[in-house]
């Protein structure tokens, strides 16, 4: 995984099969991904932007779609909640942009 902060700082992590983008970010101390609800899809503090194609990623569910309407940073076409975004099988070079605010 590659996490890119709003200031351009990049941090590379390994992600395990079955691990969410949010839990991976928290485990590696990625600033800006809070995960306040612990990954139970009841907040939007793990809002991220997927860089590049969304092909091969889990589809956006109705509840996630609704939660993305309440994000602190503007929603984009590439917006997802990190708690709902599992990279399986792990793919090299998945890039996640961290919004400037949560």
* Among 80, 93, 100, 98, residue whose Cα is nearest residue 2: 93
Sheet holding 95-97, edge to edge: 10-12, 2-4, 95-97, 47-51, 79-81
Instruction: Please say if the pLDDT value at position 54 is more than 80.
Output: no
- pLDDT, one tens digit per residue, over 12-29 is 999 888 899 999 999 999
Residue 56 CA to its chain's centroid (Å): 15
Has domain 2-97 been given CATH number 3.10.20.30?
yes
Q: Does the global pTM surpass 0.85? A: yes
Confidence grade of residue 56 (pLDDT, cut at 50, 70, 90): confident
Instruction: Please say if the pLDDT value at position 38 is more than 90.
Output: yes
Specify the pLDDT at position 65.
Answer: 97
Domains of the chain, residue spans:
2-97
What integer is the mean pLDDT of 68-77?
95
What integer is the mean pLDDT of 29-45?
94
- Mean pLDDT in the chain? 92
């Amino acid at each position: 995984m590659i996490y890119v902060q709003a200031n351009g700082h990049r941090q590379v992590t390994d992600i395990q099969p079955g691990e969410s983008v949010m839990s991976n970010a928290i485990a590696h101390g990625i600033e800006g991904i809070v995960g306040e609800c612990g990954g139970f899809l009841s907040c939007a503090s793990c809002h991220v932007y997927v860089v590049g194609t969304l092909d091969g990623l889990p589809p956006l569910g109705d509840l996630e779609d609704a939660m993305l309407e309440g994000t602190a940073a503007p929603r984009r076409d590439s917006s997802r909640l990190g708690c709902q975004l599992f990279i399986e099988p792990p793919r090299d070079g998945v890039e996640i942009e961290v919004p400037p605010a949560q």
